[in-house]
Structure 1
Amino acid sequence: MKTIKLLLVALLVSATTTINAQTADEIISTYFENIGGLESLKKLEGIKMTAKVNNGGMEIPIEIIQLKSGKQMTVINFQGKEIKQGVFDGETLWGHNFMTQKAEKSDAEATAIMKLNANDFLDPFIDYKEKGYLVELLGNETIDGTETFKIKLTKEPITVDGIEEADVSYYFFDIDNFVPIAVQAEIKSGQGKGMTSEITISDYQEVDGLYFPFSMTQGVKGQPGAPITFTSIELNPVVDDKLFEFPEETASENKDDNKN
């Protein structure tokens, strides 16, 4: 009798897991349908977003470029200066130092993480099964007064400070519109290590038949975040690959410094 009970429990757990997986799949499938279709998204080769970040009442213009090839960058226009951050040419990750204004390459771990993230052009849920990602429906949760489906997304492990760690994020899908309105994840390094990052997402608008959020707030859960308002989104922009390359002048300066 005890064996039968154990088998029944095992079958029940297995069935519940399968139902949750199917339900998560259905939520994600409906999400893609509602924003214009998965196949249409997969046809895109790039995206350029122009936005303004509200930092303590000061609006800072930024431009974000992401290409299907993995190349990407964020350009910040601050006090008349153009500062590039998170620039990735497919192999090298670099950005300008805010103090010196010089371009600096990121370390090997940060570059490796960027290479993994480059596989998620536009959305990590695109072809998530083929990429080996796992999704799990954890139930419902209320976010800022809105009822949502909470889905756990587990991607490939990342290495932080020499230690392999799970790469887990939690997505909150509006139960009425089936679109994400928030994303949460543990901060793995830096001053906020151990805290939870939170991105809230809203104001989905149509761009050439596809829907994208035009408003976001990024920050730490439970604390005021930095609002980002997108003013324009361009699909399949023409972008010069040279914009992603590490500046030759900086590379030459580094060689000269090493000689000295």
Structure 2
Amino acid sequence: MKTLRLFTTTILLLVFGAFANAQTADEILANYFENTGGIENWKSIEGMKMTGDAGFGPQSFPFVQIMMTDGRMRTEVDLQGQKFIPQAYDGEKMWGMNFQTMAAEEVDSETATNYKNNEANDFPDPFLNYKEKGYQVEYMGEETVEGVETYKLKLTKNKLISDGVEEDNFAVYYFDKENFVPILSENTMPVGPQKGMKVQTVYSDYQEAGDIFYPYSITTKFNGQAGQSIKIESIEINPSVEEVNFSMPTKE
């Protein structure tokens, strides 16, 4: 009987412990959305148009990015006066320009599928309605990051496909304990030419964007080396956007 009681107590502790963890993660996210404008303002976002500069090493290029909640998106970069679209999605087809020929080309099926199953759901924030997306969030404890006390949350998204094989897809986010905003995320690239690389993304310079607050500076490192830096100059919420912006140009 003593063994049975001990077993039952252990099971109850595990169940309630898991419940407490889930509650802690959801409480952190509730504070995050509340501190950055309120959950209803986040839910009211249907689209966003960002302008700024994208840095790659010593070079920097102006860019315009449009993102919609239905997954449609377009990124346009100004390469010394020449328009270059590295990626776009019209709701069905994902495409981008070939850097050598500057011609629009449809991306491979795995890249398109991975986008549709994950990034297409992430805007305006991957944590927003995460359960409806099939994602999971786990509280991982606390950690000090460069002098800042943070909460750690592990976000597990839908699996990715790499050469026909499913790969786990997750990242750990560090939320500033004082302001409840993400200041850092870490993950290992599961697919693509950078597969296996350790990725660190730093979020800073939170400013108003309509009725929410958004990081206007986003810096990414690969294996500890400087990769890409994004400096946002302006954000327009729910912009008027024509469908042609997302459509792949037809060959003449």
TM-score (norm 2): 0.94
| Native 8 Å contact 2:73 2:89 kept in 1 | yes
CA positional deviation for 1:221:
4.4
CA positional deviation for 1:88:
0.3
Matches within 5 A, 1:5-154: 5-116=6-117, 117-154=119-156
CA positional deviation for 1:232:
0.6
Q: What's the counterpart of residue 232 of structure 1?
A: 234
Aligned-pair Cα RMSD in Å:
1.5
Between the two proteins, what is the percent identity of the paired residues?
Answer: 42
- Tell me, yes or no, if structure 1 residue 167 matches structure 2 residue 195: no
| Native 8 Å contact 2:150 2:175 kept in 1 | yes
CA positional deviation for 1:14:
1.8
Q: What's the counterpart of residue 203 of structure 1?
A: 205
Summarize deviations over 1:137-172 as a string: whole Å, max 9, x none: 001122232221110111222222101122212111
Gaps of 5+ in 2: none
Summarize deviations over 1:102-131 as a string: whole Å, max 9, x none: 111111111111112212221011111222
Of 143-152 and 2-11, deviating more is 2-11
> Helix, strand or coil for the counterpart of 2:158?
strand
Summarize deviations over 1:40-64 as a string: whole Å, max 9, x none: 1111221001111222222211111
- CA distance in 2 between counterparts of 1:23 and 1:166 reads 24
| Native 8 Å contact 2:71 2:120 kept in 1 | yes
Q: What's the counterpart of residue 242 of structure 1?
A: 244
- CA distance in 2 between counterparts of 1:169 and 1:55 reads 23
What residue identity is the alignment partner of 1:168?
F
Change (3 A) 1:225 1:142: farther
Gaps of 5+ in 1: 253-260
Q: What's the counterpart of residue 223 of structure 1?
A: 225
| Native 8 Å contact 2:160 2:191 kept in 1 | no
Of 124-133 and 105-114, deviating more is 124-133
Change (3 A) 1:150 1:84: same
